[in-house]
């Protein structure tokens, strides 16, 4: 059973470039490949946007007004939470000195303009494969109830798992399926990239858009699904969950 949502589920990519035409073209390409895309016309405010959106990859142009790519990269890397966040630099300067400067400041890849669509796609996938190995791990089929009895959904299509009374529901980008295993059984499978955050929830770390205190006593995760679902975190697990998210 193929339950992968047609809406982007492969992660979020932030494009920082002052060329509206390039941003439009890359956004269309990445959206068609299954990614969620956001953009900025300058490096100004990039650190704040990264903290709020927690993208899986940044495509960062060098030559931009106000704040250029070099300064933006510095600001991104100043936050320890972004240590493993992959950054691909785009620039018309393909010189060795420019590449060395980018890598020295913390860039993970460097692509000189003009570039081919095929090469860009390959580089994006390679960066994500290295930063999110659990997303490219072996398939992990999870049993769900259906009219035929039992079918299977791949864990990579699941954003979070919810326990309600004696039932479990596996939530994808915009749908949910009745599970055949209990939360305890699912937790015991130790599915790569998933963690228990509450007595009623197991989440996929890479599907978390952000987190914070909803009230003084309620800490919540915001998921990257269609509804932007808010999920509670048990007080005793907050520190561990935050560390797991920041280290992914």
User: Domains of the chain, with CATH numbers?
Assistant: 12-131 (3.40.50.2300), 141-247 (2.40.50.1020)
Q: Give residue 168's Cα distance to chain centre.
A: 24
Provide the pLDDT for residue 11.
80
Q: How high is the pLDDT of residue 190?
A: 87
Residue 236 in tokens: 């005793």
Taking only the tens place, the pLDDT of each residue in 35-47 is 889 999 999 989 9
How close are the terminal C-alpha atoms of the chain, in Å?
29
pLDDT at 2: 33
For 116-136, give the DSSP string. Answer: -HHHHHHHHHHHHHHH-GGGG
At 183 the three-state DSSP class reads: helix
Instruction: Kindly report the pTM of this predicted structure.
Output: 0.54
Mean pLDDT score, 134-144: 71
Per-residue pLDDT tens for 91-115?
Answer: 876 667 777 777 888 899 989 888 9
Q: Under DSSP, is residue 100 helix (H, G, I), strand (E, B) or coil?
A: helix
What are the beta bridge partners of residue 160? 171, 203
């Amino acid at each position: 059973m193929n339950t992968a949502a047609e809406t982007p589920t492969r992660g979020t990519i932030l494009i920082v470039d002052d060329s509206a035409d390039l941003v439009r073209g890359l956004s269309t390409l990445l959206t068609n490949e299954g990614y969620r895309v956001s953009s900025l016309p300058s490096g100004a405010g990039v650190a704040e946007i990264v903290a709020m959106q927690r993208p899986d990859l940044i495509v960062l142009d060098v030559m931009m007004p106000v704040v250029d790519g070099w300064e933006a990269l510095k600001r991104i890397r100043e936050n320890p939470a972004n240590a493993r966040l992959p950054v691909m630099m785009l620039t018309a300067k393909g010189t060795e000195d420019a590449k060395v400067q980018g890598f020295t400041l913390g860039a993970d890849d460097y692509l000189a303009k003009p570039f081919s669509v095929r090469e860009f796609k390959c580089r994006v996938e390679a960066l994500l494969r290295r930063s999110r190995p659990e997303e490219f791990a072996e398939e992990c089929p999870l049993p769900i109830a259906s009219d035929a009895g039992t079918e299977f959904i791949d864990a990579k299509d699941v954003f979070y798992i919810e326990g309600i009374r004696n039932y479990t529901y596996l939530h994808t980008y915009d749908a949910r399926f009745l599970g055949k295993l209990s939360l305890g059984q699912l937790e015991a499978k130790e599915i790569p990239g998933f963690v228990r955050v509450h007595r009623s929830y197991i989440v996929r770390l890479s599907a978390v858009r952000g987190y914070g205190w909803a009230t003084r006593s309620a800490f919540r995760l915001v998921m990257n699904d269609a509804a932007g679902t808010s999920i509670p975190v048990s007080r005793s697990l907050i520190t561990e969950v935050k560390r797991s998210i920041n280290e992914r």
